[in-house]
Amino acid sequence: NKKVILKNYVDGIPTETDMELKMGDTIEIKAPKGSSCFLVKNLYLSCDPYMRGRMRDFHGSYLPPFLPGQRIEGFGVARVIDSDDPNYTPGELICGITGWEEYSLLRSSNELQLRKIQLDDAIPLSYHLGLLGMAGFTAYAGFYEICSPKKGESVFVSAASGAVGQLVGQLAKLNGCYVVGSAGSKQKVDLLKNKLGFDEAFNYKEEADLDAALKRYFPEGINIYFDNVGGSMLDAALLNMKVHGRIALCGMVSLQSLSSSSQGGINNLYNAIPRRLRLEGFLQSDYVHIFPQFLEHVKGYYKEGKIVYIEDMSEGLELAPAALVGLFSGENVGKQVVRVANE
């Protein structure tokens, strides 16, 4: 059973050498009798920025750290091979927290952590990790529950071509908003404008003055900022928000270090007072009650051709460490997924 382990705790941005591919033990392809577990064959693994937080030696977060020497875990799509749990039958497909390894022994859990999924010819199976998974749900819950969007409003999305950002922008367009995205390469900017339907997009790495860039695209100001990056982009957005604007604090992937002393150089927060802004951090896991509604709506939009989804697929477990690390330098174009085995 090949697996990817964490070699050591990480301070700041992880590198490939913080992880290691181990040939692992020879395992019996069976769920032990009396274990109430089921054995799955992992097909696809998801790479997500939050996993960096689990690589730190920090126990105060909402998720416990990975342990050095132990396999990494994250969201995956897998097929049940053997089962000692009457609720799971060999052949069934699941999406949920699994190991970064070929085969994993799992236990049933709540719906956000583990759910059964069905093959659907119209939707690639791996989309359960992106469009129909945690990333898509984050976009949906964050946009509708935190941003309170209204038709005609102006919306800015950072890391806009990524797993979350690409859906936020498309939902905003469906809602009749004017939408601008920022991303870190020409290729991503082209995708935003020509494939994902954003009204405008810009490469933030080519802008010497982010405040000026936002003023160019939003001469009358921003109603909604969906913040995936924090740091200097958030600071510039604070100078460009309209009165009663809303900022959804989704993630701060630009912060190089996750230490509590690093606040990302926010100087313009005082603008929140005269402009009566609402800034709200959120975790998608708080919105589990709207997960069925999300699935129904987003599946429907996709099948009706109203939205598209871009995925970046790495081939093989051995490429998983590089794929994860690549999130922090913007290597991924769209949702980063790793194919571990053929369906």
- Interface region with ligand NDP, contact rule CB under 6 A, candidates 19-27, 47-55, 65-73, 82-90: 47-55
- What is the rounded CA–CA span in Å between residue 93 and residue 209? 48
- What is the rounded CA–CA span in Å between residue 45 and residue 79? 12
Stretch 246-265 residues interacting with ligand NDP (CB under 6 A): 250-254
Q: How far is the CB of 36 from ligand NDP (least distance, A)?
A: 30
Q: Do 321 and 55 meet the contact criterion of CB atoms below 8 Å apart?
A: no
Among 43, 135, 146, 307, binds ligand NDP (CB under 6 A): 135
Q: How far is the CB of 235 from ligand NDP (least distance, A)?
A: 12
What are the two backbone dihedrals, phi and then psi, of residue 259, each rounded to the nearest 5 degrees? -70, 155
Among 14, 124, 184, 245, binds ligand NDP (CB under 6 A): 184
Per CB under 6 A, does 291 bind ligand NDP?
A: no
Instruction: Give the contacts of 238 (CB within 8 A, at least 6 positions apart).
Output: 247, 266, 268, 269, 271, 272, 277
Among 74, 133, 162, 321, binds ligand NDP (CB under 6 A): 162
Among 282, 290, 306, 341, binds ligand NDP (CB under 6 A): 282
What mask, x for binding ligand NDP by CB under 6 A, covers residues 142 to 161?
-----------------x-x
- What is the rounded CA–CA span in Å between residue 122 and residue 174? 21
- What is the rounded CA–CA span in Å between residue 166 and residue 136? 9
Evaluate the CA torsion angle 343, 112, 300, 315 in order and state its sign.
Answer: negative
Per CB under 6 A, does 228 bind ligand NDP?
A: yes
List of E strands, 125-184:
154-157, 178-183
In this complex, which beta carbon is closest to ligand NDP, that of residue 83 or of residue 182?
182
Task: Give the binding-site size for ligand NDP (rule: CB under 6 A).
Answer: 31
Closest by Cα among 46, 49, 119, 113 to 79: 119
Amino acid type, 36: S
In this complex, which beta carbon is closest to ligand NDP, that of residue 3 or of residue 188?
188
Among 98, 104, 126, 138, binds ligand NDP (CB under 6 A): 138
Among 99, 124, 149, 165, binds ligand NDP (CB under 6 A): 165
Per CB under 6 A, does 164 bind ligand NDP?
A: yes
Element housing 237 (H / E)? helix 231-238
If 0-12 CB within 10 Å is exposed, 13-18 middle and 19+ buried, where does residue 141 land?
Answer: buried
Closest by Cα among 140, 237, 252 to 180: 237
Per CB under 6 A, does 188 bind ligand NDP?
A: yes
Q: Do 320 and 103 meet the contact criterion of CB atoms below 8 Å apart?
A: no
Per CB under 6 A, does 131 bind ligand NDP?
A: no
Per CB under 6 A, does 327 bind ligand NDP?
A: yes
Per CB under 6 A, does 332 bind ligand NDP?
A: yes
| Interface ranges with ligand NDP (CB under 6 A) | 48-50, 134-135, 138, 159, 161-165, 183-185, 188, 228-229, 250-254, 282-284, 327-328, 330, 332, 335
